[in-house]
Structure 1
Amino acid sequence: MQVLITLVVAVSAVWVYLDATKHKIGKRPGASGLLNLSAGGWAASTLFLWIIGFPAYLIKRKSLIALASDMPVTVSRRGVKTGVLAAIGGLWVLAALAAEVPATAQTAGDAQAAVAESGETAPAEVEKVASVQPEAAKPKHNWLVESDGKYGYGSAVSKNQAADGQVAGDVNMFRYVGKQGDKYQIVDIGTSENEGATVVLECTYPCTLGKVMGFNPGSIGQPALQTEYTQISEATVASNIFEDAANGALTIRMTMDSKGQQKHIWFDEKKGMQLLSE
């Protein structure tokens, strides 16, 4: 802003000098008053006291031209004097520009220092930092291991196991079936192998009561062999699994090949295992 103001003042002073000399405005011998100035005087007053000198010249210009027609004043070396006036104005502009650059740098430096003290990232106006998109935060999960589409959860340590010095329970493996509506399903792999059936646990999150269904392994469309309900307490393996499912921490669903296509699975108590085209 200071540079622009200085430029306007310098240009105004040069214009006043050229206009005054063009119309042969000058200091009249024998006349008195503050406004009885030569062309150089008008230019100097504009340059050094623009807010008074420039408006005064514009206001008095017509009368000064009329007086100059009766008593013209011709200046010598008009071009040289104009060049000197322009050079002075140009030096003022350069000085204003030189003063503004360190001020801008100081402002940026102060802002960067303030940002550094606060521990925040500097804004783009202060420091151009390459925009790096952070990786999406991975959801927090309760599972201990994921292998080949199976999720492992640690069981609680019993009092007898703790007495024997065991600090961690066994790792039980599960498969995530998926979600339909507000219901989630998982397959208990260990129990399925022991029972010789596909054991499915289903619940609506937040889970307090779970439905346990047993199906013939690999059979499609056959209803559940057996159904029972079990209470699901907080901080249990089942509670942790369904919490992960609801939070999006279980991403690998059960699938089955059907005519060369992998289809998702869902277990229905009456309709049995269903293949979904989604």
Structure 2
Amino acid sequence: MTIKKIRLPFLVSLLLTLSLALTSVAGAESSVVNNVQDEGQVVRAFLVSDGVQKEITLEELEAIKTESIQQQANIFKQKETYVKQNAELLNNNSLAGDISPMALLDLSYYNESGFISNVYRWNLNRRISAPLYNDSSTQTNSQTLTYSTSQSYTSNFSFSTSGQKNAITAGVTVGASWSENFSFSQSVTQNVPPKKYVWMDYTPIMDNSYGILHEEVWSVVPGSSVKLVDEDHFIDLYIAKETSNGLPDGLYTLVESSSKPTY
């Protein structure tokens, strides 16, 4: 059996990807500010952390943004160092040729290198309600805004087999909950000024696991065994936070504008 080596410029492409991600993170705060300038301004903010919801001041919101940007920069440095240390391993994956297996033995496993809790995902910020509008020219109206959101995991790697998923489940800090999706709907009462729109935005807070997924699959045939897959993948996995009431962890911000939102 001939083993075909597939050598990929993995380190270069991965570091480029991480560099672009860091650039995105570094610009996240300004992007959020630009969104506010272009689409309106934040008038109220709610923080949901570990399933507990509380309203925070706009000053607290700005402090959270500043702190989280520094956190993202530190996380990037950790991952950059980790990838460099494992460059040879990640650049020497191999695949076998075509085989028709009678039985498969999956020995894949996930070696988690780091687990970071409560990471703000500014790049996933989105509107989660229809906009309310006050058509009055003179009077502020109290209106009920209903919003709903759903959040699952995100990853740099597409998990296409049960063996890959099982390996992550066995090796990640949070176990099987990494792949769960959390959804919730509720309402808030808000005063809407004359000729203004109001809507709710959402920025997820997620846990981040990173490490190496070793994928190893064997074909077991009578009298012999042949390795079909022998690969190592850098995994950068963000996991939606499990909550007690179903409301996904994150920042919920009420935005006010003179024009209808375009996103």
TM-score by shorter chain over 0.5: no
The structure in which a higher percent of residues are helix is: 1
TM-score under structure 1 length normalisation: 0.19
- Kindly name which structure, 1 or 2, has the bigger radius of gyration based on alpha carbons: 1
Structure showing the higher strand proportion among its residues: 2
Bigger relative contact order, structure 1 or 2, given CA contacts below 8 A and separation 6+?
2
TM-score by length of 2: 0.20
